[in-house]
Amino acid sequence: MKLDATDLRYVTGEEFRVLTAVEMGSKNHEVVPTSLIAQISGLRNGGVNKIIGSLAKRKLVAKVQNSKYDGYRLTYGGYDFLAMRALSKRDSMHSVGNQIGVGKESDIHIVADSEGREMVLKLHRLGRISFRTIKQNRDYLGKRKSASWMYMSRLAAQKEWAFMKVLHEHGFPVPIPIDQARHCILMEFIDAYPLRQIADIPSPGKLYSSLMDIIVRFARAGLIHGDFNEFNILIRRETGEPVVIDFPQMVSTSHENAEWYFNRDVECITTFFRRRFKYESALYPKFRRTLTDEEGGEDFRLDVVVAASGFSRKDMKILEEYMDEVKEVEVEPPGDDESSESSEGENDLREEEVGLSLKREVIDITNVNGPAPSRSRSISPTAS
Ligand code: ADP
Ligand code: MG
């Protein structure tokens, strides 16, 4: 899906008010009636109609014909706009560049601040999986059923943000978190290759140990990554050091299936190293030993720190249940009328094919100081 930075500059104050009104109205209306939009925005009906027409033309909102009434809903584009506007108002970001990744549930863009410093903007897209295909057990959403894609995407971003912050503060090798708004996270750009793309390394044993060491450090701090694989481990181009990304599925070591998650993370690494580097080791971390080991035990529990930081256990639970449900479900675009605005075929991408859109070739980092991957730097300003 296209992230249109030009729109950020050409949205007027009144348009912004109307867009915000649609967002507010969608908290309890799946389709927000035009009269409600007028009421919330404080503009007269006639004025609203014109503005909403122009927003719809630019696909920031979409018209929906309901059985009971006609109205509008916010699109991904509209939600992206609101988030980016918030970030640029706070001077966290200034311009949008290329998309470098498309995941099943996120889009990744290079963006920059006003000094041209590059960062990564991750937009969570949990609604890519249609909520209609999810089995009807959605009680945990309560009244929020109607706003579920926005709500879930925002929860995922808040969770990722909360974890990235505490991990960074406690010295884990993760990108520096910069800012968060709605369903978006702004973080440090890591000049790196995903482990997935690396064909050969000078000493696989060394990388293997440092990755297992990260798993152990996570666990001693009360956490399990939950998706610790070659897609979510970046290898710094300059130094060959690993950086871990992608935290929406992190779980506490007190989770009922903690050991299973832990073992799966460990196995992802053992399997990948065996297949890719023909490297096997008799040494790998074991869950119980890791937790009971006196030596090296941390005196902080990051799962507790996160819960205290504002991302509550209840939020965790809601997101987890959603993620469990969608795991089973085929990917399809969210709205009736949204398929035209998300780029063709995007929803068919599986994980192996995504996140690597710029550098699909497998890279040998035996020479880690080799030339930088060519990355076009076309960056256009967002807001004035
Ligand atoms: P998803 O949830 O869709 O898997 P990820 O957070 O794993 O999203 O990011 C997808 C891809 O985007 C990564 O595999 C990586 O190539 C790229 N990426 C994500 N964050 C960064 C970052 N901070 N610096 C550089 N590249 C990144
Ligand atoms: Mg990922």
**Residue with tokens 């074991």, as numbered in its chain:** 286
CB 225 within 8 A of CB 250: yes
Shortest-distance atom of ligand 1 to CA 191: 25
Nearest ligand by distance to the CA of 186: 1
Please tell me the distance between residue 132's alpha carbon and the centre of ligand 2 in angstroms.
Answer: 25
Burial label for 309, CB within 10 Å (0-12, 13-18, 19+), is middle
Q: Where are the alpha helices (DSSP H) in 142-192?
A: 148-169
- Point out the catalytic residue in the list 227, 246, 265, 303: 227
CB 333 within 8 A of CB 76: no
CB 191 within 8 A of CB 238: yes
Closest CA to 196 of 349, 356, 347, 373: 356
Please tell me the distance between residue 233's alpha carbon and the centre of ligand 2 in angstroms.
Answer: 8
227 given a catalytic annotation? yes
Model confidence at 55: pLDDT above 60: yes
Residue nearest to atom 10 of ligand 1 (CA): 355
- 383 — pLDDT class (breaks 50, 70, 90): very low
Give the highest mean pLDDT range of 39-43, 61-65, 214-218: 214-218
- Look up residue 376 and give its two tokens: 């076009």
- Look up residue 99 and give its two tokens: 């998309």
| Partner residues linked to 101 by β-bridges | 108
Coil, strand or helix: which one is 284? coil
Burial label for 266, CB within 10 Å (0-12, 13-18, 19+), is buried
Shortest-distance atom of ligand 1 to CA 187: 23
- 102 — pLDDT class (breaks 50, 70, 90): confident
**Percent residues over pLDDT 90 in the chain:** 58
Given this model, what pLDDT does residue 135 score? 47
Nearest ligand by distance to the CA of 355: 1
Residue nearest to atom 4 of ligand 1 (CA): 103
Ligand 1 site: residues with CB under 6 angstroms?
A: 100-101, 103, 105-106, 108, 120, 122, 175, 187-190, 192, 194, 231-232, 245-246, 355
d(CA 167, CA 44): 48
Please tell me the distance between residue 28's alpha carbon and the centre of ligand 2 in angstroms.
Answer: 31
Please tell me the distance between residue 187's alpha carbon and the centre of ligand 1 in angstroms.
Answer: 10
| Partner residues linked to 96 by β-bridges | 111, 380
Instruction: State the pTM of this model.
Output: 0.83
- Look up residue 73 and give its two tokens: 């809903």
d(CA 59, CA 42): 22
- Look up residue 265 and give its two tokens: 């993370």
Q: How many CB atoms lie within 10 A of CB 281?
A: 14
d(CA 246, CA 235): 14
d(CA 337, CA 76): 12
Shortest-distance atom of ligand 1 to CA 104: 3
User: Which residues have C-beta within 8 Å of that of residue 327, sequence separation ≥ 6?
Assistant: none
Nearest ligand by distance to the CA of 102: 1
Please tell me the distance between residue 120's alpha carbon and the centre of ligand 2 in angstroms.
Answer: 14
Shortest-distance atom of ligand 1 to CA 356: 16
- 5 — pLDDT class (breaks 50, 70, 90): low
pLDDT tens-digit map of 266-303: 999 999 999 999 999 999 999 999 988 766 667 789 98
Radius of gyration of the chain (CA): 22
Q: How many CB atoms lie within 10 A of CB 143?
A: 8
d(CA 154, CA 82): 12
Model confidence at 339: pLDDT above 50: no
Coil, strand or helix: which one is 300? coil
Domains identified in the chain and CATH numbers? 1-74 (1.10.10.10), 192-310 (1.10.510.10)
